[in-house]
Amino acid sequence: MSIQRPKGTQDILPGTVEKWQYLEDTIRTVCREYGYEEIRTPMFEATELFQRGVGETTDIVNKEMYTFLDKGERSITLRPELTAAVCRAYAENKLYAWPQPVKLYYIGPMFRYERPQAGRFRQFHQFGIEVLGADKPVVDAEVISLVWTLYQRLGLTGLEVHINSVGCPTCRAEHKDKLLEFLKPHSHELCRDCQDRLERNPMRILDCKNPSCQAFTAGAPTTLDMLCPECKSHFEELQELLKAAGVVYKVDPRLVRGLDYYRKTAFEVLVEEIGAQSAICGGGRYDGLVAEIGGPPTPGIGFAMGMERALAAIEVQNKMPEFEKAGYAMIVALGQQAQRHGFAWVSALRKAGIPASIDLLGRSLKAQLKAADREGVKYALILGEEELNKGMAILRDLRVGEQEEVALNQVVSVLKDKFGEGVNA
């Protein structure tokens, strides 16, 4: 029996990886325009980081983490998300001593043990933004504006930005009391997960996707009903800033997100047609998280975007551009002596910045030219015994079928002229 990849993972092969590179390049361009810098953190962290940072009442910590003991008997977890890890890096590396705010982005794989479905994997990839050290509504607006700009740049349409305020600890406490008062008399009507959430984190019941729970909680008090003056002012200013930036949004009082660390602003970006879950991006403000994991009190806000789900949306909407194979030169060497000389020439071409290859299978002239055409080669440099004796090579333009003789000592300069400005000096 052959060994296969683990369930919920994927091989990203040539032909598909170009789509990932396109998305990553667009992300990096937008982040650079907004003044964000990349951060890279370990693939695994101490389990306690996610227990304290993400929250022990969350499905991620309770059900989905890949956790194990290493050889030192330390509890280690493959990262299920990156906000807590970025906050840990911010505190550990004393980034609070840098000019504030610190504006960071990341791209990388995450790991969650959940049921694979369309656009959702056990090893999946996220792009995310974290802004640490600023608490004004304009920061929230910039973060939402960045992801809106990214999706516009990718050509996606039919997007909905949903926003809400989940309040601060003061108004959250009042909301929790009112919500429990509403829910407890009929708690048996809730799904099993929501019955479990009732005591630990009742606010998350409002975000349950179970139709019966949604119907039962339709009249439940929301966080917007309980906002303190500061949180209310913050949310109102955010809306004015989003309007000024041309971001189309909808206030969604039931949006609470699934992580314990959110404060004030919470938001999601939704698009239809990509499977059971329509959200392709979500985030919010987490002003208490850095302090929760041992750092100084620091305001923060960010989002995470599932890259598989973004790619699915791009494909469904037919917004993926066509990718041509990068043209290059190929040494078509015939015979052992020609191959030795050809290998020297392919090395010289690469040193000159000219993309070049040489046949590795010892094929015939016809087979090599056929392979070159299939691989998108622009120029074939044909080198056989006769050409070696003459000190010449045949340079064939495979796009138009024309060819010319070129002196061997002029091959590099001729090809540099052919390829033009993309070639290094």
- Domain membership flag for residue 190: no
CA distance 140 to 235: 10
Give 145-163 as a DSSP string: HHHHHHHHHTT--S-EEEE
109 and 49 belong to one structural domain: yes
- Domain membership flag for residue 133: yes
The alpha helices in 68-168, defined as continuous H runs, are 83-92, 137-153
26 and 70 belong to one structural domain: yes
Instruction: Measure CA 416 to chain center.
Output: 37
CA distance 124 to 62: 19
Tens of pLDDT, residues 104-118 = 999 999 999 988 876
279 and 341 belong to one structural domain: no
CA distance 211 to 124: 27
- Domain membership flag for residue 215: no
The continuous run of DSSP H or E covering 351 comes out as: helix 336-351
Tens of pLDDT, residues 325-364 = 767 899 999 999 999 989 998 999 999 988 999 999 989 9
249 and 105 belong to one structural domain: yes
283 and 334 belong to one structural domain: no
Per-residue pLDDT tens listing for the chain (425 residues): 899 999 999 999 999 999 999 999 999 999 999 999 999 999 999 999 999 878 776 778 878 999 999 999 999 999 999 999 999 999 999 999 999 999 999 999 999 998 887 667 999 999 999 999 999 999 999 999 999 999 999 999 989 899 999 999 888 888 888 888 888 887 777 888 887 787 777 877 887 778 888 887 788 888 898 899 999 999 999 999 999 999 999 999 988 875 667 889 999 999 876 654 588 899 999 998 999 999 999 999 999 999 999 999 999 999 999 887 767 899 999 999 999 989 998 999 999 988 999 999 989 999 999 998 888 899 999 999 888 899 999 999 988 889 999 998 888 889 888 877 444 43
415 and 379 belong to one structural domain: yes
Cβ–Cβ < 8 Å for 97, 86: no
- Domain membership flag for residue 182: no
Domain end among 293, 316, 339: 316
The continuous run of DSSP H or E covering 404 comes out as: strand 402-407
Structural domain of 66: 17-168+228-316
- Domain membership flag for residue 183: no
Instruction: Measure CA 181 to chain center.
Output: 40
Query: Nearest-5° angle of CA 12, CA 16, CA 18?
Result: 110
Domain count, the chain: 2
117 and 234 belong to one structural domain: yes
Phi and psi at 75, nearest 5°, equal: -80, 120
- The CATH number assigned to the domain holding 388 equals 3.40.50.800
73 and 137 belong to one structural domain: yes
Tens of pLDDT, residues 390-404 = 999 999 998 888 999
**If you ran DSSP here, which 8-state letter would residue 60 be given?**
I
Domain end among 295, 316, 337: 316
Radius of gyration, CA atoms only, the chain: 28
- Domain membership flag for residue 177: no
What is the dihedral sign for C-alpha 187, 193, 194, 198? positive
297 and 410 belong to one structural domain: no
Report pTM. 0.87
> Which residues pair with residue 20 across a beta bridge?
none
